[in-house]
Amino acid sequence: EVQLLESGGGWVQPGGSLRLSCAASGFTFSSYAMSWVRQAPGKGVEWVSAVSGTGNSIDYADSVKGRFTISRDNSKSTLYLQMNSLRAEDSAVYYCAKDRVRYSSGPDAFDIWGQGTMVTVSS
Amino acid sequence: DIQMTQSPSSLSASVGDRVTITCRASQSIISFLNWYQQKPSKAPKLLIYAASTLQSGVPSRFTGGGSGTDFTLTINSLQPEDFATYYCQQSYTSPWTFGQGTEVEIK
């Protein structure tokens, strides 16, 4: 069964840092681009960052550029999101999502999602 | 950035109704348009990709259409499990933007 399992969320003060992880199983992880997508409480869905299957191509939303870093360890089938200089507006459920198409240079459609991990930034 | 605008923001419908949701892009995205369904406290689920292709396992009562800037998601014969929020998303260019969502409620 194809599965994504996020972890690492929690409460942090403004200006703090968190590292999210997403463990993948049931598919050839290195063949697919992966993304982080977030959803603030009661709000819509926002794409945050994407990384290609090899890790060589990375992209960020302007709202997180310079503060968040996406990475992946294909030997561990795990995706990461290092979040620094966190702000209240970063509070959201963070989902990792798998691209639908193999070897794509950028997200095509997100066909598998994790259950999400909640990040709360508050003093 | 490409802005995605859905209409309506919410609608009330009955089981068996036909429902249509519209998504408009701020510029042409050809057919790089996906639709997702989200139920409370759950992750979004891919329904349709490339504007009109049904994702594997999705019931055929869901159909997508359109190209360029205007797209539709139609649910034929609404079922109890279809009451949810629906999002469109463009995959034409970064940043990969979503519509604000359309909540389908029970009348």
3-state secondary structure of A60: strand
Cβ contact, residue pair A46, B38, below 8 Å: no
How far apart CA B35 and CA B19 sit, in angstroms, is 14
Each residue of B35-69: pLDDT tens digit? 999 999 999 999 999 999 999 999 999 999 999 99
Which tens digit of pLDDT belongs to each residue from A28-52?
999 999 999 999 999 999 999 999 9
pLDDT in tens, A109-118: 999 999 999 9
Per the rule left: phi > 0, alpha: psi between -120 and 50, beta: everything else, B47 is: alpha
A55 has pLDDT over 90: yes
Res. A83 pLDDT band, cuts 50 70 90: very high
Hey, are the CB atoms on A50 and B96 less than 8 Å from each other? Answer: yes
pLDDT at A105 exceeding the cut of 80: no
Look at strands B53-54 and B4-7 and give their pairing.
unpaired
Q: Is some CB atom of chain B closer than 8 A to the CB atom of A94?
A: no
A106 in contact with B at a CB cutoff of 8 Å? yes
Residue where the block lists tokens 């992750």? B43
Rounded to whole angstroms, how far apart are CA atoms A111 and B29? 20
pLDDT at A103: 86
> Which residue, A34, A54, A46, is CA-closest to A110?
A34
Among chain B residues, the shortest Cα distance to A38 is held by: B43
CB spacing of B46 vs A100 below 8 angstroms: yes
Left, alpha or beta for A26 (phi > 0: left; psi -120 to 50: alpha)? left
The answer to whether A3 contacts chain B (CB < 8 Å) is: no
Any residues with CB less than 8 A from the CB of B1 and at least 6 apart, and which? B95, B97
Q: Which pLDDT score, from 0 to 100, does residue A108 have?
A: 87
In contact, B93 and B30? CB cutoff 8 Å: no
Chain B residues touching A62 at Cβ < 8 A: 95
User: Is the distance from CB of A53 to CB of A33 less than 8 angstroms?
Assistant: yes
